[in-house]
Chains A and B, each alone.
Chain A
Amino acid sequence: MGLIEFTFAVLLISILAGLLGALTGLGGGVVIVPALALLFHIDIRYAIGASLVSVIATSSGAAVSYVRQGLSNVRVGMFLEVATTLGALVGAYLAARVSTHAIGIIFGIVLLYSAWSSFRHQQNEMPHARNLLAEKLKLTGDYPTEHGREVYTAQNVPAGFGIMFIAGILSGLLGIGSGAVKVLAMDHAMKLPFKVSTTTSNFMIGVTAAASAGVYLGRGYIAPGLAAPVMLGVLGGSLLGARLLARIRVPILRVVFAVVIVALGVEMIYSGATGRL
């Protein structure tokens, strides 16, 4: 393929990946890596390098609107970023030691988990229970509900911190935001309100990704000619997706997208297991 055709094909796929990532709420990274590896047969290390760059761009871009709504909790985010950035460093070092087949299989499992988690029903009561450690660390906040602002306090702080460390490792190993695992930590372990955990998670993704980006650069995972169309495409696609999401309701589309994500996950596991990655 000629370089011009290749660059535009990658740009187009990246726009689609960004759109899909925004509409499913899973982020562009989980879509663009399998797309580059399976469709273009790009080495998975170049794919995760380019993806990581796009993850930093979309997270930082999306955080702007979330922060304005006053939903994300800066202290909760900062405290958990200690776990995710350390995890991301470990993950980025592991990426050089783990075989590309294994990376493909782990990636597939994360895709399947993400698709499943995007459908789980959310029901959260406000965590009112007191928690000494959370109060000491100021992991509290308030949140607008129908009955006015309600106060919340984080629960199970060590468990949440531990899951965040794993989320960081996955982010550094796979070049994705691993938002689904971050939400698991905040939503299920720490019992934070759903809106708070999703917006804070998005806010953290850029910082987590930046922690492994340095290692990726040093290893040559980030190829400029590939990273440029991927970053611009995913960023454009996700901004478009965020606008569409505000205007249209997408229950049927969500099912279609979940099927796509599951198919990508199965294909990644199969390709990894048969040594084609």
Chain B
Amino acid sequence: MASEADLKMDINISRMLRAGVSLAAVVVFIGGFLYVLQARGVAPDYRHFHGISSPADRIPPLLVAHHLDSRNIIRVGILLLIATPIMRVAYCVYSFALQKDKIYVVVSSIVLSVLLYSFFHA
């Protein structure tokens, strides 16, 4: 069943995944590097769970009090990483639509809806 169209889809997916992961890794690395550079004192307390401290933890503002917060750069990188498989599924919806594969347009749309629901609502 490895048709021309499927093969093209596979190759585009793999390129998309590599680009997304590389970009996310670079952003997280920059954020992590700054985090260590700005480090003062002891490691945060991860032994106890604090949950979410402020709404800012969800949607990361890059500039906090006019200086770049390294943890928010890391958050942006993590969001890019989570977006990568979502983009992959979105591309599959488009690609199945081009192939006029109705069943799989529906199947991949369901997967995409679950991912978007989690990303925006949870």
Contacts and interface: CB of A to CB of B under 8 A. Distances in A.
Chain A interface, >50% SS class: helix
A75 B102 CA distance: 12
Contacts of A222: 78
A158 interface: no
Interface of B: 1-2, 6-7, 9-11, 13-15, 17-18, 20-21, 24-25, 28-29, 31-32, 35-36, 39-44, 46-53, 57-58, 71-72, 74-75, 77-78, 81-82, 84-86, 88-89, 92, 101, 103-104, 107-108, 110-111, 114-115, 117-122
A125 B96 CA distance: 30
A46 B114 CA distance: 24
A218 B43 contact: no
A63 to B, nearest CB: 5
Interface in A215-247: 215, 217-220, 222-229, 231-232, 235
Contact of A211 (B11, B14, B72, B114): B114
B25 to A, nearest CB: 6
Contact of A56 (B15, B82, B110): B82
A129 B18 CA distance: 37
Interface residues of A, number: 66
Given A224-B78, A226-B46, A64 B1 contact: no
A2 interface: yes
Contact of B75 (A1, A41, A224): A224
A89 B107 CA distance: 17
A130 to B, nearest CB: 15
Nearest to A63: B17
Interface in A123-166: 136-138, 140-142
26 contacts: A3-B39, A3-B43, A6-B42, A40-B46, A43-B49, A46-B46, A59-B85, A60-B81, A61-B17, A72-B10, A82-B111, A85-B115, A136-B103, A138-B1, A206-B84, A211-B115, A213-B119, A218-B52, A219-B52, A220-B52, A220-B53, A224-B31, A224-B78, A227-B28, A231-B78, A235-B21
Contacts of A209: 85
Contacts of A214: 82, 115, 117-122
List the 7 shortest-distance A-B pairs measured between CB atoms, nearest first. Answer: A214-B118, A6-B43, A228-B32, A220-B52, A224-B74, A215-B122, A67-B14
Which interface residue of A89, A209, A214, A227 has the most chain B CB atoms within 10 A? A214
A271 interface: no
A117 interface: no
A68 B85 contact: no
Contacts of B57: 220
Which interface residue of A4, A89, A206 has the most chain B CB atoms within 10 A? A206
Nearest to A81: B111
B7 A70 contact: yes
Nearest to B83: A210
B82 A74 contact: no
Given A89-B114, A206-B88, 18 more contacts: A2-B41, A3-B36, A3-B43, A7-B36, A45-B49, A56-B84, A57-B24, A60-B17, A60-B21, A75-B1, A82-B110, A206-B85, A213-B119, A217-B82, A217-B122, A220-B52, A227-B28, A232-B25
